[in-house]
Amino acid sequence: MNYYRGTDLERYNIASQNNQGFIVTMMDANSQIMYQDGNNSTDLATYNQSDYSIYVYTEDENKVGVQKVVVRDCDSLNRLLELNLYINVLENSHPDFVSEVQTSWVMNVGDVVTY
C-alpha cells in the first residue's frame, strides 16, 4: 500500500484489499503486527482484529521508503500464520516550482488559458 507521510490516518482492510487477506480471518484476538525484524510497529501501523484492518499514520521522515510489516498469529491447530505487508511511505512535501506560480488572472470572453 502507498501512504503519504503526515496525511490522515489511513485504513487498509486486509480481508478485502489483499489477495491473501483471508489468512487474517483465521487469526484470533492475539494476532499482532510488527516489523519483519520483530520490533514494535506502532510508530507506523496498528492492527485491528475486529475489522481486519491496518491503520497507518506517521510524520517521521525516517519512515519514508518501503516499511515491511507482518501480521502474525497461531491458529487453533497451533500453526503459525503470517501475512507480510509492504507499506510504501511517500514523501509529502510541496513541489519545487521553477518560476512563481500564477494563482489568479482575469479572463475575457473567448480567452483560452492553458494551465
Phi, psi of 65 (to 5 degrees): 120, -175
Domain 2-90 carries which CATH code? 2.60.40.10
| pLDDT digits (tens), the chain, 115 positions | 999 999 999 999 988 888 888 888 888 888 999 999 999 999 999 999 889 999 999 999 999 999 999 999 988 888 899 999 999 999 987 677 788 877 887 888 988 877 7
Q: Is 110 left (phi over 0), alpha (psi -120 to 50) or beta?
A: left
Neighbours of 54 (CB within 10 A): 25
The amino acid occupying position 112 is: V
Model's pTM, two decimal places? 0.74
Residue among 81, 87, 76 nearest 31 (CA): 81
- List the chain domain ranges: 2-90
